[in-house]
Chains A and B, each alone.
Chain A
Amino acid sequence: MIALKAVKKIYTDDGSSTVALNGVSFEIHKGEFVAIMGPSGSGKSTLLHILSFMDRPTSGSYTFFDKKIEEMSDTELAYVRNQEMGFVFQSFNLLGHASVYDNVEMPLLYSEVKVADRKKLVENAIAAVGLVDKTKIEASKLSGGQKQRVAIARALVNNPRVIFADEPTGNLDSQSGGQVMKIFEELHTAGHTIVLVTHETYTAGFANRMIHIKDGAVDSDQLIDKHPTHAGFIK
């Protein structure tokens, strides 16, 4: 599965260094819905970047489904991000001028999926977030909640092993936020593994496991009693 062992991340800038992660270790299993929580500056975003192969740890080891980050080139990391990961960002990061369809299709452009199969995958992903009627609309014309749903569809389109989300409800009102989290919940129910970073307890409440980060280290790691059938991992 996913395993972090004594992961450290130290940023060096002009001679002074900042420790963002100070020996983080945990595992995440298939089918889990993990919320990583912590105050701002705790290192939770750095942790998500490392988990999602967008950054490398300074020391320690990270294994993602038998792939060790320390042994991989940047191109190999890009390949895994494309094939096995999905991303949802706080600020949506859609191409505003492009259509919903084009936005959702984007990861497939960099994959080996055949052109003929693409359309079906994109349409399925858009249907999964309930935006079929918006397929041809420019992304910039959507509401915040709809934008985040497009972003989720984009994260889903390549059928990833894990979906990573960074404060997915941070830019949304509570109603849209609730809708977005419902979609995550449905995805989880359908068997997707989800790792999200949030500082909102409400958002974290949808997860079945909560990892608290404080000062760059795991402060607590607990299962939430919401999904009694799920066998999560408790440190």
Chain B
Amino acid sequence: MRLQDTIKTAAKSLLRSKTRTALTMLGIIIGIGSVILLMSIGQSAQDLIIGQVQGAGSNLVFVTPGSNKGSRFAAPAAVQGIIIKTLNKNDMIALEREASIDLVAPEVRGQARIIYGNNDQAVTFEGTMPDFFPIRNFTIAKGYAFTQSDVDSFNHVLVIGAKIAETLFGDFNPVGKTVRLKNITFTVIGVLDSKGVGPFGIDQDELVLMPVSVAQKQLVGIDYYNSLVIQANANYDIAFAQSRVVSVLRQNHHITNPDKDDFTVQTQADAIDLLSSITSVLKLFLAAIASISLLVGGIGIMNIMLVSVVERTKEIGLRKAVGATDRDVITQFLVEAAILTLFGGIIGIVFGALFTTIIYFVIINFSTIEWTFALPLSAIALATGVSVLIGLVFGIYPARQAARKSPIEALRYE
């Protein structure tokens, strides 16, 4: 039998029972739709997370206490709750002298409630230096940033995130107002431009920035830094800057054996690499979940095809009686399954893309997340390939059942 005739015959028999064909396709439509949707969400999430790291500044080098040697994925000591007190002002001063380094800012972090009148909110405060603002691309919407003299004089001044400003002050200008943090009075001198959720899920609009001296001595009670953030000189290779940071810190900390490093130096690229690996696993996980529905859809097809084979026993008998070979019968049923899955797949792709678009518009319109639209070609290719494969794999069993029938027995079937 010619392929065109097979396709025509298969299409006719599918069109004959439209409801059943539509219901059979539904499984594949949902399966492929979910694959597209979840893979797109995974891709958007990856773009978002990596975009946040990239948006944190450029040519950044992060120094965290503790070593993550041995595994790329091991968390630095600070994340594991181990307190390491070796990063301090001397390190910062030494690093600032390096030609390959433009700016260095320390970070001392803590949590507290910020109180203004009857309003209060839990916030992450961060003690740092004025260079922090250019390093992290933080710009001031109202008022001004604190200065080195604020740091040196232990001035109780704050620069607050846009969201905090709105929560505490509503439409009023927060600049010049007095707030309290851990029972210490601060004056708000600036409000940051809105920046959204930053790397590692911290909402930068809910951040409170203050002079590092105040954070260290009066809020946290430590004399070391939680971390350093460095902007490398763009004229130098970032890897060179990174190696200089390592050398300087080893020298300062009197470390001769690299295995004994008490700090971790990562570049933005390292962070992006790490986050890419994590989000790729997430993407894979989402695709795996979606594949389950695809599998269910495939089994649905097999089920309906088996019923169809039984129902059409007489037709199979007749076709064999007038000269159809086993191969003709197998091909016909396989082509039917392939048509079901191919069209189901195409409709599923359309639906998946549609829902991806809807989700995109909902997120960008109803949240502050800077969601990007992603419809990976790989997802479409994978979905199409997988759906046709499903048709062939799940179609083969019913098709073989059909071909195995002897013409007389099939014709006698009631």
**Interface check B326, CB cutoff 8 A:** yes
Interface segment among B36-44, B120-128, B314-322, B338-346: the answer is B314-322
What is the chain B residue whose CB lies nearest that of A157? B322
**Interface check B282, CB cutoff 8 A:** no
- Contact residues in A for B321 (Cβ distance below 8 Å): 52, 54, 81, 87, 93
Q: Are A78 and B324 in contact (CB under 8 A)?
A: yes
Q: Interface of chain B, helix or strand or loop or mixed?
A: helix
**Interface check B187, CB cutoff 8 A:** no
Interface segment among A35-43, A105-113, A142-150: the answer is A105-113
**Interface check A63, CB cutoff 8 A:** no
**Interface check A159, CB cutoff 8 A:** no
What is the chain B residue whose CB lies nearest that of A102? B12
CA distance in complex: A111, B325 (Å): 11
CA distance in complex: A56, B181 (Å): 97
Q: Are A111 and B323 also in contact (CB < 8 A) when A93-B318, A98-B12 are?
A: yes
Q: How many Cβ-Cβ contacts under 8 Å join chain A to chain B? A: 58
Q: Are B322 and A82 in contact (CB under 8 A)?
A: yes
Q: Are A54 and B5 also in contact (CB < 8 A) when A78-B320, A81-B321, A81-B322 are?
A: no
- Contact residues in B for A95 (Cβ distance below 8 Å): 315, 318
**Interface range, A side:** 20 to 34
- Contact residues in B for A110 (Cβ distance below 8 Å): 1, 319, 322-325, 328
**Cross-chain contact of A54 among B2, B326, B328, B408 (Cβ < 8 A):** B408
CA distance in complex: A75, B328 (Å): 10
Interface residues of A in 126-176 (CB under 8 A from B): 154
**Cross-chain contact of A55 among B5, B319, B324, B408 (Cβ < 8 A):** B408
Give min CB distance, A65 to chain B, whole Å: 16
Q: Are A107 and B322 also in contact (CB < 8 A) when A54-B407, A55-B408 are?
A: yes
**Interface check B295, CB cutoff 8 A:** no
**Interface check A74, CB cutoff 8 A:** yes
Give min CB distance, A133 to chain B, whole Å: 23
Given contacts A78-B323, A110-B325, 17 further A-B contacts (CB under 8 A): A52-B321, A55-B406, A55-B408, A74-B325, A74-B326, A79-B323, A79-B325, A81-B321, A81-B322, A81-B323, A89-B411, A95-B315, A97-B16, A106-B318, A109-B1, A109-B9, A110-B322
Residues on A close to B: CB < 8 A?
49, 52, 54-55, 74-75, 78-79, 81-83, 87, 89, 93, 95, 97-98, 102, 106-107, 109-111, 115, 154
Residues on B close to A: CB < 8 A?
1-2, 5, 9, 12, 16, 314-315, 317-328, 406-408, 411
